[in-house]
Amino acid sequence: MVQQRKGQEEEGVIHTNGTTLTSTESASQRQVVPEGTLEIGTSVMCTATFDNQEHLGEIIEQRMDSKYGVMYYIHYNELDKRLDEWITASNVVSVAKSLPRVGSGGSASGLEDTSMQNQKMTRRQKRQYAEINHLSPSVEELPPLDQYLEKEHQEKTKVKNVQVIELGRHEIDTWYFSPYPEPHASCQKLYICEYTLKYFRKKKTLLRHMAKCTLKCPPGDEIYRSPARAGTALAGTYTNPQISMFEVDGKKAKVYCQNLCLLSKLFLDHKTLYYDVDPFLFYVLCEVDKDGHHVVGYFSKEKDSAEGNNLACILILPPYQRKGYGRFLIAFSYELSKKEGRVGSPERPLSDLGAVSYRSYWTRVILETLRDCKHSMSIKDISDRTSIRTEDIVKTLEGLSLIKYWKGDHIISVTQKIIDEHLRTISSEKNIEIDPSRLRYDPLIVTHHSGKRVHM
């Protein structure tokens, strides 16, 4: 277990020896639950606090609360794990007979369509069906080693620790467990500085920190900023407020990047990177105003990816979702790939929200590329223009039924009318364009354990 060193207990600073931190239970969780309560693993019908509707769920944990008495931590069977919550005994309506199992992600899509259950599918069809419906494989479907790791992950993260965070002007309900060090891990609410991402247990401690904090932006290089005025901007690139992108080196700004990872883990279930940030670059998206740069989200990428991935992890904080920022970050990762002169693809597996965002981005870019080209194009031609990996292009076109497999080759089968029809269906999606001329980026070439910037 990683612990803070004696004499170095400053709030918001992580002291580690490189191993994974596991939190201990809070004082309220350690209290003895009286006899006669429902057992862990019991299937119950209960009233959820987020919609006041009855849902089928499973008791994951129980505790005795000094104010509310017996409380149960519930995973709702048909809903994503991010909606797991503590409820009082009065919210339990009845004990259910059975609880259908879902994939490890716990999302509604983990329940198979009854129309598909009675059909025999090939391995390829099953994989395509799972991708389209964002299905997470059940633990039993994974290889033995992955089964062990998945079960270990589920056990460690089954109960969400921090319930709420205050970040800048936003108070945000968290989604998942995050391995903050004690005593922060046992806090119901954490207060986080939006500029340094240091975390505190009390609001007054945050205010004292803010009074002395001189940093008003991420500790890296600003490599992009959207135009300040709409009249001088390329179509679709102007935003209000302005946005900017910072490149932060995990080796140079280790504590900031570690804190960013801990923050993101509150909203990403299967994120495993917490402390070993040296091999990564972090691209932090901010909204800009007179007070400073306010973090919106980020993506990370390995400095030297053996698989050719141009993105390792991506997150848009909940208050900024559904504004086009997710697609902006994805587009930005491909702009960097174009600067590097290579194709790229995100690291797998993708989260359910990540899969939706990527499919939306690939669809728009590929259709626009086909629309703007006046002659026939091959899969390789599209890849060269967009830096999207050929496998991702093929899967996207298959999902749109715009590709055929003929005599060992993939043939794009599409007319201008079909392209226009598909583009009309996604025309309402928010999309922030990138002006490549405003991007200040020199690719990092890694040799052995060192990296250097080169001008291309």
Question: Largest Cα–Cα distance in the chain?
Answer: 75
Hey, CA dihedral for 115, 116, 121, 124, is it positive or negative? positive
Residue 144 Cα distances to 136, 138, 147, angstroms: 16, 12, 5
Phi-psi sector, 7: left (phi>0), alpha (psi -120 to 50), beta: left
Mapped onto helix, strand or coil, the DSSP state of residue 281 is strand
CA angle 107, 112, 116 (to 5 degrees): 150
Q: Which one of 61, 222, 347, 398 is the catalytic residue? A: 347
Give 346: exposed, middle or buried? Use CB within 10 Å, 0-12, 13-18, 19+. Answer: buried
Question: Could you tell me which residues come within 8 angstroms of residue 219 by beta carbon, excluding any fewer than 6 positions away?
Answer: 248, 252, 253, 256
Question: Could you tell me which residues come within 8 angstroms of residue 150 by beta carbon, excluding any fewer than 6 positions away?
Answer: 104, 139, 142
Question: 10 Å Cβ neighbour count for 86?
Answer: 19
The tokens describing 374, both together, are: 């006046």
Residue 289 identity:
D
| Residues 151 and 140: beta-carbon distance below 8 Å | no
What is the DSSP code (8-state) at residue 275?
Answer: S
Query: Is residue 347 among the annotated active site residues?
Result: yes
Question: 10 Å Cβ neighbour count for 419?
Answer: 19
The tokens describing 12, both together, are: 């918001």
Residue 13 Cα distances to 74, 172, 197, 438, angstroms: 32, 21, 10, 34
Residue 50 Cα distances to 76, 174, 396, angstroms: 12, 13, 35
d(CA 436, CA 12) in angstroms, rounded, equals: 36
Mapped onto helix, strand or coil, the DSSP state of residue 26 is coil
Residue 372's H or E segment, with its range, is helix 352-372
Residue 208's H or E segment, with its range, is helix 203-212
Question: Could you tell me which residues come within 8 angstroms of residue 192 by beta carbon, excluding any fewer than 6 positions away?
Answer: 165, 166, 167, 198, 199, 200, 206, 263
The tokens describing 366, both together, are: 């590929």
Residue 176 identity:
Y
Name the residues annotated as catalytic. 347
